[in-house]
Structure 1
């Protein structure tokens, strides 16, 4: 597959002429979902779920469909009958030719006083795992882990331990719009030296084969 990093937690995957986009949220490019044959959304927070971006993608391609959890699906299903699919932990499906498995149930704890919402992660083609806003360990081998590097709900020691527990062949940063460029080398060094995997990052629009 070809992986193209988009802003924040949005990633684009291409295989056999088909395009799958995960989490085109409000911090992603305005056109992040356009051109997608399939769209996946991990949870309802606006930096991962932007209704306008999803509607634009679904309107631009009448054959495109969305797979997501119930809280997001309920917002869009009435306008796109038969094209919005609700998924949860343990589900497996094929989206535009991509085999997808669903892992995880809850968003990471932000603060004990903030209720936790549902969050799912997606393992695509048995190879690439996007956990959304959680440090979900899928319990199966992962070649490429999209690692949430900086968020209000995590700290670098937790990210290091997550890399060690999942044990991917390589990890690529997502959830990075909050991280100032001046701090990037600190995270790169910590994750690279202690994460026990090949850690790297892609600039928005940069692509690699996975």
Structure 2
């Protein structure tokens, strides 16, 4: 399976000529969802959910479906009947040939005074886990973790402890659109050999547009 990092929190997974896109939000490229066979959205925040990008992909191909939680599905289901599917924690489904498990229920706490929205993570083909905006630990082994590197709701110690707790073979950065080059360097050092250690997990950051095979 080919994993391609797109801007901020968006990734594309491709295998056998089929493409799955997760979280083509407003901080990702305008064409991040283009050509997708299936779309997944973890939650309603605009850096993960961009209605225009989703509508364009759904309108371009009547075979494309969207799987997401209720807060997003209710905004698009009327326009695309039968193609927008509501999912939640514990659900499993097949999307464009990909086997997907849903893990988690709530967004991480940004501040107690701010409303806490729902959030789900997606485990694709038992291989790649994208948690959205939460530090959800699936109750099964994960080989490839998409790691929310930086956010208003996190600090480095939490990020590192999350990597250690999941214990994946590798972790690739997502949710990095607010970091400068200097910030990316600092996170890379702290999650690399010079840092306190990530356990069995090898950390790397892909530049937007860069791909690896997982």
Deviation larger for 100-109 or 185-194? 185-194
Match of 2:83 in 1: 83
Distance in 2 between residues matched to 1:5 and 1:186, nearest whole Å: 20
Misfit runs of 4+, over 4 Å: none
Could you tell me how far apart the structure 1 residues matched to 2:209 and 2:185 are? 20
* Residue 203 of structure 1, aligned match among 195, 202, 207: 207
CA distance in 1, matches of 2:64, 2:12: 14
Q: Which residue of 1 aligns with 2:34?
A: 34
Pairing 1:121-136 to 2, within 5 Å after superposition: 121-136=121-136
Q: What is the number of equivalent residue pairs in this alignment?
A: 210
1:183 is displaced (CA, Å) by 1.7
Deviates more, 1:182-191 or 1:82-91: 182-191
> How far is 1:61 from its partner?
1.2
**Which whole-Å CA distance do the structure 2 matches of 1:160 and 1:25 have between them?**
25
Contact 1:23 1:41 in 2 (8 A): yes
TM-score, with structure 1 as normaliser: 0.99
* Cα root mean square deviation, aligned: 0.6
Residue 108 of structure 2 aligns with which residue?
A: 108
Q: SS where residue 132 of structure 1 aligns?
A: coil
Equivalent residues of 1:139, 1:166 under 8 A apart: no
Q: Return the offset for 1:26.
A: 0.4
CA distance in 2, matches of 1:140, 1:62: 34
Q: How does 1:167-206 map to 2 (within 5 A)?
A: 167-192=167-192, 193=195, 194-196=197-199, 197-206=201-210
CA distance in 2 between partners of 1:59 and 1:34 (Å): 10
Equivalents in 1 of 2:180, 2:136: separation in Å?
Answer: 25
